[in-house]
Structures are given as C-alpha cells and as structure tokens.
Amino acid sequence: MKIAKVIVDVPASSINQTFDYLIPDHFQQVITKGMRVIVPFGPRKIMGFVVELISESTHKGLKKIIDVLDLTPVLTDELLKLGKWLADQTLSLYITSYQAMLPQVLKSQYKKELVRLTEERLSDDLEMVFAGRDSIPYEELANRSIRYYHVQKAIQDGDVAVNYLVKSKITKKYVTMVQPAKETYLLEEALYDVAKNAKKQRELLGFFIEYPDPIEQPKLIRYLETTQPTIKKLIDRGLLASSKVEVFRNPYDDDAIAKTNALELTEQQQQAINPIKQKISQGQHDVFLLHGVTGSGKTEIYLQAIQDVIQNGEEAIVLVPEISLTPQMVHRFKGRFGSNVAVLHSALSSGEKYDEWRRIHRKEVQVVVGARSAIFAPFENIGIIIIDEEHENSYKQEDQPRYHARDVAIYRGEVHQCPVILGSATPTLESYARAQKGVYQLATLTKRTNDKGMPEVQIVDMRNELHAGNRTMFSRRLKEKMENCIAKNEQVVLLLNRRGYSTFVMCRDCGHVKECPHCDIALTFHKNSNQLKCHYCSYEEPMPMICPECNSDLIRYFGTGTQRVEEALTQLIPEARVIRMDVDTTRRKGAHEKLLKQFANREADILLGTQMIAKGLDFENVTLVGVLTADSMLHLPDFRASEKTFQLLTQVSGRAGRHELPGEVIVQTYTPDHYSIELASTYDYSQFYLTEMNTRKTFQYPPYVYLVLMTISHENQVKAVQTTQKIVQLLMNHVSNNTVVLGPTPSPITRVKDRYRYQCMIKYKHEPQLRKLIKKIIQQFDEDVRKDDLLITVDMQPYQLM
Ligand code: ADP
Ligand code: ZN
Ligand code: ZN
C-alpha cells in the first residue's frame, strides 16, 4: 500500500473529506490506519489522521507524508468508523469528531522526545541517533535516514518510548523505590549492630526483613511514620538501596483503598441482574434501563456485572456524571477491582489523563470509570457499557461534535455485541418511553437496600410566608428545623436551585408565572426592551406592572445568588457554620473536594450550594435537606423544566437519611401544586411520567417528536435575523407537511460577546433526508461563514435550549 487517505486538521466544512498522500519508502510498513501523520497542505504542514491505505489514487501529483506522529495507532478501526458515524449523525467535521476521542495531550502539538528505557544494545541506526544520550528530541528522527520500523519495534519491545512534553514539564514521572541491598539473613544480622536507641532505624530494618520487596519511598515514610534521613542512614550503611523508577501517575492510591467483596444480592437486585448476566454470557447486545430509587443498590449490580465481564477476559466502560465522579465513587470501583481500573476525569491534569488513557490503550486495565468522553476508551473487547444517572445533561456534549454519550454507548454496544445498562432513579422520558415500548429492557428496584423508607418531604408554600409577614427567603418551618438540627449536632444541606439565567417573571403574592400561550414555556424577561418573549415561537408581550391574576404589584423577575443567601442565612442563624459551594468557591482545582471533606469532618453545620451538591454525596450526619426555591428550574424556558425539577428534587431528597439517622426534606415553593413538585414529594415516578408524557404529547415535544436547534449568530442583528429567516424558509420549502419549523426567534441569551443570536427549531417525526437538507442549506451560506464571520450551529436532539 503506497497511498494513505488522510483526514487533515483543517476545521472547515469545505475541507471535510479525505486527501490522498504518498507514503515515502522509509514509512512503508510503518504507517497503518489510525495513526496521526504530518502532511503538507498548501504552504503549511499540518496534522492528519490516516483513515485508509490504498494502492492507487485517482488523483495525480500526490504529495508525500512528511512525518509520523504515532508509531502505534491511536485510533482503532472501530473508533475510525465510529468517528465517521458520529460526524454524520451530529453534522460535525470528521476531524473534530476524531479529536474528541483522544486525550488533550494528543490533540495539541506538544513537543515529544524519544526515551531510552534499556541498557541493552538497540539496533544500529537507533544507537547512532541516541549517540550515548538517554533521550533525544523526536524531530531528530526525521532528520536521519532511520528505519522507522526499527523504532516501532523498539517501542513494542519496551526498549524505547515516546514521551510528550506538556508545558515544558515532563509528562512521565519518576518515583524513588527503596529495597533491601542485602539478603534477609544479613539484614537480621545487621539488626544486632544497630544501636538499641536508634528505634526508627530498627523499625525500618524490621520492616524489610518481613517484606523484602521494593516499596515507594513516600509510601514507606507514610506507613512507618519514618523520615528520609533515617532511610538514608541505612542506605549509607549499605543495608538498603534506592533507585528511580518511571511510574504512571495514578492519582488514586490504590493500596490505600480497602478491598470489598461482592455482596449477596437482594431478591430485587437478583431479578434485575439475571437478564444482564445472561446477555454477557451469550455475548449479545441489548439495552437495559435500570430504574432504581437512590440507595437501591444499582452500583452493586454494576460491580457484579463487571465482575462477569472481567472473568470473560473482556472490558467494561462505566460512565458517571462529572459531578458525581467523587473519590467516594472511584473508591467503590477500585475497592472491587483494584488497579484494574483506570479513571478519566476532567479534574486530572492533562498528563495524568494521558497516563490513564495509555493504560487503557495498552490494555493494562479492563475497567474504565469516567465522565462523558470515556465512552471513547480505546478498548477492543468490550463486554459491558454502563451509564449511571443516565438522565444527566452532562452526557450531552454542548460543543462540536454535539453527541450524546448514550447514543455512542448503544452504537458501541452493537458493534461489540454487549449489553448497555442505563441506570437512574429518574430516567429521562425518552428512555422510559423506549422501555415501555420494549425497545429497552426495564428492570426496577423499588426498595432501598437498608429497608429504610425514603425521607419524608414537606412542601412549604412561600406565598403564605409573605402573607404572614415573613419576607426572608427562609420559611418559618425551615428555620425552626435548621435550628433543631444544629442543636442536635446534626447537619443540613441547603440547595439553592438556580441555573445561570433565571429570567422568568413571577408574582410573589399568588405564584403566577407568565407563560407563552402557545408553547407552555415560561416567557423570558428581556431587560433592554422591557418585554417578555417566548424563545420557541417568538411571541412577545410587555412586562406587566401588576399581576394579571391577583392584581398584586409584587410581580417581578426571579433569582438570588448563593452569596446573598449565605449572608441572609448567617443573619438568620448567627451560630450556624456555613460552607458555600458554587462556581465561585469551587473554581480552583481541588476546592470542590476540600469543601466536601470539611463538611464530612463536621467542620460546618450547613452546606449551601447549587445543583452541584445534589448528587452522589453521602453524608452520615445529614438529617435535613432544604430546597430554597424549587421554582427557579421549573420556569426555565425549556420544555424539560418539569422533568429537571422532578429529577433534582428526587435526587436531593435521596441525600437525607441514607444511614442510621432518619432524614427530612423541606421544599419551599410558590407553586406547591405543580405536579413535578407534588409527585417528587411522594416519589411517584410513574405518575410523573404519565402526566409529563401528556404535556409532551399536547405540545409536541420529545419523545413524541425529534428536535433540531439551529442557532445563527452575527455581529449585525439584521443580518442574523435575515439569515435565520432565509434558513427557516428553505427548510419549510423542503420538509414534509407534518414537520414544524419555528423561528426566527431570539435565543434566550440573545447577545453574547457582541454577537446577536437567533434560532430556528425543527420538530419532526420522520424526516430521513433532514441531515442532508441541513448540510446543503449550510453550504449555501459558506461564503458568509468564511468571509463575514457568520456562525451557524446545528444541534441534533438539543438539551440546552439557550
Ligand atoms: P444506588 O447506586 O442505587 O444509589 P448503592 O449501590 O449506592 O445504591 O447502594 C446503597 C447502599 O446499599 C450502599 O452502601 C451499598 O453498599 C449497599 N448495598 C447494595 N447492595 C447491597 C446488598 N445486596 N446487601 C447489602 N447492602 C447492599
Ligand atoms: Zn399574583
Ligand atoms: Zn411560544
């Protein structure tokens, strides 16, 4: 094969295709599919992915590949196909789609070096390049007439390695290992010579007499509470030896995590896991929706299913929302499978992430636990894919490629013929509807494993507080409960249910919220024009001065920041120690964990925060959970607002009373009879599902229809509107009769960075040519996109409607 088809790193839709390049002789047999190469492109040299090898090209005058970036492919055949599918599904570029599958280190142009790992003689040409050095800049290879397959072979044999230099720091890390320098009996003899009062040295020797294996110095110091000078003394006496060894950074100390064993499953768990185990043993694909209340033992089911998969010699991918990927969560997997687990988490440094990725790439682990992008783990023998908290929005990428991890999971599950498990206490309507139709297999866990009921939820009507003269944001009941709780030395979690933009208008007297008469969506308040607008259908009306329901003049828009709540809280209960957790206090790396740890150590009485505190937390001493403003999510300009409210309230209620102490939940709201609040308080998912499905049917939202959201932005408002108008028209001319095209409408966040944003929404049931049509339409605006800074984004099945 003399020619490579390459997807080049030029993110432009006019370049979204493969280009043919000649493979020069010295790269013959070296270059394979899935490697990254450097190729000439116009006057530039750029990176590209080799996606296919061919022997003849229809093009003439092909240019040559300049360099090879990877000597082992970074993308498997399966991932190459997946990337193509992903790009087609999400209307993204192939290059963006491939980049999304790789760790950051591989995406950018980091400097590389070739490191020698062995003292033994390498091939002649390699010896010549190294010329006595331990490492050489990678570019030196290109300047020599070296045979790349010698390099490739040396990498495979573990004699040399390619190292990425991240931000001028070396990505590989070395650790000092300490070990005995003499046989055990000689150490025993030496013990007699060590002075009786040199207790620390004696302890150290005693340790190595018992455990003669090499051990990492920091660990040794920790275990024995000894010091480096003490170790050095024994090294100086020739009793111990130390050496530097390369380590893969493992951000979790596996040895410090207690081992756990499979628990005996409850009957419900057994019934849920059996069909999954069956699929694993038969090597068949199916999708299971595991609907289980919080604390019903879903994670134990995951663990035991993975156990089977490991025994089969296969691999497991577990997705967990970023926010729940806490040390607690990681420990549960490492506790069961030890160092057979890699963790991919955005809080890791890019070097750490790369190390974890490489452990997967080299098949050194069989389990990966990670956030969204872990779905692209380069395993080749997947036996199960699990998505925990499948309803979480973070599984949808809000950037190109705008994919949903669930779709990728099912795609890979089909390729690998393995089961996919979607777990949640509050499944998305989409998933639950599929389970109802039999597309997914439904398994239900209704009981908590500790046989405790769910905590009692009380709804407090905030309108009554106002009428009784209480103008604070804390109801009298909540205040009293908090004080009781603190007096008993127990802890409180307070949720300020707020998303970035709460722009709806509500009457504080009667709870009335202005909604669009056509869309069942709260109207958005636009400050500049003092107008209320529906951002789905562009209906608008002036901001009312008095409530149309009750004539009160207390109608205004809604929203309070966590900081203000904290101030009010310390005024209300001065003795309370409060930890505030929001984007401001958790911006710094590690801050999130630190605050949680402080709370777990009972250094505070109240944990106050936004949705980020609602999930995954498990504190023994929390007996009261308060939701300050259940409404602020309910009136987001989003057809999923009720669903999100139900999910959040259910999640947060699950935080209380997980352990011995019983828990209580107080939900403050101005709309106490809204079904999502009422039904969450009784944990009635089925009824919620039925009610919400009705609404979706009436107003034609998913899962009854599919959605596409197109957003058009430009500095010039008129241009943005006109372009959107044209796009709407073009769409209308070509879609089928029952497809609805809405717009142009200003986005709820209309102006971002001096650009005006307009949108158009498509609702359809069956429109097989839609992707093609949208692609074609976008192409018509290609010139404006390239020369006039027009931006058109397409989101197939959007979750973010802002
Ligand atoms: P979920 O993931 O559904 O919220 P978990 O898996 O966290 O539930 O389980 C809740 C608690 O119950 C955990 O402490 C877990 O160790 C325990 N648990 C799970 N399954 C069993 C079982 N079969 N027997 C005893 N305890 C169990
Ligand atoms: Zn009113
Ligand atoms: Zn509307």
Question: What is the tens place of the pLDDT at every residue in 373-396?
Answer: 999 999 999 999 999 999 998 999
CATH of domain 706-795: 3.30.70.600
Asked if 423 contacts 292 with a C-beta cutoff of 8 angstroms, the reply is yes
**Which of 138-152, 196-210, 476-490, 772-786 comes out lowest in average pLDDT?**
138-152
pLDDT at 524 (0 to 100)? 79
Band of pLDDT at residue 13, cut at 50, 70 and 90: confident
**Which of 44-53, 188-197, 309-318, 614-623 comes out lowest in average pLDDT?**
614-623
pLDDT at 227 (0 to 100)? 86
Average pLDDT value over all residues in the chain: 87
pLDDT at 497 (0 to 100)? 67
Atom of ligand 1 nearest to the CA of 292: 3
**Could you tell me the two tokens for 792?**
């058109």
Asked if 391 contacts 406 with a C-beta cutoff of 8 angstroms, the reply is no
Contacts with 168 (C-beta within 8 Å, 6 or more apart), sequence order = none
CA of 613 to the centre of ligand 1 (A): 20
Asked if 588 contacts 627 with a C-beta cutoff of 8 angstroms, the reply is no
User: Which ligand is the nearest neighbour of the Cα of 514?
Assistant: 2
pLDDT at 171 (0 to 100)? 52
- Our answer on whether the CB atom of 291 is closer than 6 Å to any ligand 1 atom is no
CA of 669 to the centre of ligand 2 (A): 14
User: Which ligand is the nearest neighbour of the Cα of 523?
Assistant: 3
Which CATH superfamily hosts domain 456-502+560-695?
P-loop containing nucleotide triphosphate hydrolases (3.40.50.300)
247: β partners: 173
pLDDT at 632 (0 to 100)? 77
Of 124-133, 313-322, 574-583, 613-622, give the range with the top mean pLDDT. Answer: 313-322
Band of pLDDT at residue 408, cut at 50, 70 and 90: very high
pLDDT tens readout for residues 104-121 = 777 766 677 888 887 778
- Our answer on whether the CB atom of 331 is closer than 6 Å to any ligand 1 atom is no
Find the angle CA(281)-CA(282)-CA(283) to the nearest 5 degrees.
90
- Our answer on whether the CB atom of 299 is closer than 6 Å to any ligand 1 atom is yes
pLDDT over 50 (residue 169): no
Which ranges of 109-198 does DSSP label H, i.e. alpha helix? Answer: 124-130, 139-142, 148-156, 184-193
pLDDT (mean) for 687-699? 96
> CA 471 to CA 183: how far, in whole Å?
78
CA of 535 to the centre of ligand 3 (A): 7
pLDDT at 654 (0 to 100)? 77
Band of pLDDT at residue 668, cut at 50, 70 and 90: very high
pLDDT over 80 (residue 238): yes
- Residue among 449, 452, 653, 660 whose CB has most ligand 1 atoms within 8 A, to mutate: 449
- Our answer on whether the CB atom of 262 is closer than 6 Å to any ligand 1 atom is no
Band of pLDDT at residue 337, cut at 50, 70 and 90: very high
pLDDT at 324 (0 to 100)? 77
- Our answer on whether the CB atom of 444 is closer than 6 Å to any ligand 1 atom is no
pLDDT at 427 (0 to 100)? 97
CA of 553 to the centre of ligand 2 (A): 8
Pairwise pLDDT comparison (707 vs 123), residue with the higher score? 707
Strand bridging mode 578-581 / 606-609: parallel
pLDDT at 501 (0 to 100)? 47
Q: Which regions of the chain carry the CATH code 3.40.50.300?
A: 254-445, 456-502+560-695
pLDDT at 247 (0 to 100)? 61
Residue nearest to atom 27 of ligand 1 (CA): 449
Asked if 474 contacts 489 with a C-beta cutoff of 8 angstroms, the reply is no
pLDDT tens readout for residues 173-182 = 667 888 888 8
pLDDT over 60 (residue 502): no
Band of pLDDT at residue 168, cut at 50, 70 and 90: very low
CA of 645 to the centre of ligand 2 (A): 22
- Our answer on whether the CB atom of 263 is closer than 6 Å to any ligand 1 atom is yes
Band of pLDDT at residue 328, cut at 50, 70 and 90: confident
Asked if 348 contacts 359 with a C-beta cutoff of 8 angstroms, the reply is no
Pairwise pLDDT comparison (466 vs 579), residue with the higher score? 579
| CATH class of this structure's domain 254-445 | alpha beta
Contacts with 46 (C-beta within 8 Å, 6 or more apart), sequence order = 8, 9, 10, 38, 39
SS3 209: helix
- Our answer on whether the CB atom of 654 is closer than 6 Å to any ligand 1 atom is no
Pairwise pLDDT comparison (524 vs 291), residue with the higher score? 291
pLDDT at 430 (0 to 100)? 97
Atom of ligand 1 nearest to the CA of 302: 6
Band of pLDDT at residue 170, cut at 50, 70 and 90: very low
pLDDT at 252 (0 to 100)? 65
- CA dist list (Å): 627 to 494, 555, 741: 6, 22, 38
Atom of ligand 1 nearest to the CA of 265: 23
pLDDT (mean) for 279-291? 97
User: Which ligand is the nearest neighbour of the Cα of 467?
Assistant: 2
> CA 690 to CA 702: how far, in whole Å?
14
Residue among 403, 400, 396, 529 at smallest CA distance from 791: 400
**Which of 145-149, 330-334, 371-375, 547-551 comes out lowest in average pLDDT?**
145-149
**Which of 295-299, 528-532, 546-550, 704-708 comes out lowest in average pLDDT?**
528-532
CA of 45 to the centre of ligand 3 (A): 50
CA of 659 to the centre of ligand 1 (A): 11
User: Which ligand is the nearest neighbour of the Cα of 302?
Assistant: 1
pLDDT (mean) for 649-661? 77
Label residues 526-537 b or e (16+ Cβ within 10 Å = b).
beeeeebbbbbb
pLDDT tens readout for residues 553-572 = 888 776 566 777 888 899 99
CATH of domain 3-106: 3.40.1440.60
pLDDT tens readout for residues 42-88 = 888 889 999 999 999 999 889 999 988 888 899 999 999 999 999 99
User: Which ligand is the nearest neighbour of the Cα of 556?
Assistant: 2
Q: Which regions of the chain carry the CATH code 3.40.1440.60?
A: 3-106
Pairwise pLDDT comparison (711 vs 10), residue with the higher score? 711
- Our answer on whether the CB atom of 266 is closer than 6 Å to any ligand 1 atom is yes
**Which of 31-45, 152-166, 460-474 comes out lowest in average pLDDT?**
152-166
CA of 61 to the centre of ligand 3 (A): 57
> CA 618 to CA 655: how far, in whole Å?
6
pLDDT at 790 (0 to 100)? 92
Torsion-angle region of 567 (φ positive above 0: left; ψ -120 to 50: alpha; else: beta): alpha
CA of 543 to the centre of ligand 2 (A): 14
> CA 403 to CA 400: how far, in whole Å?
8
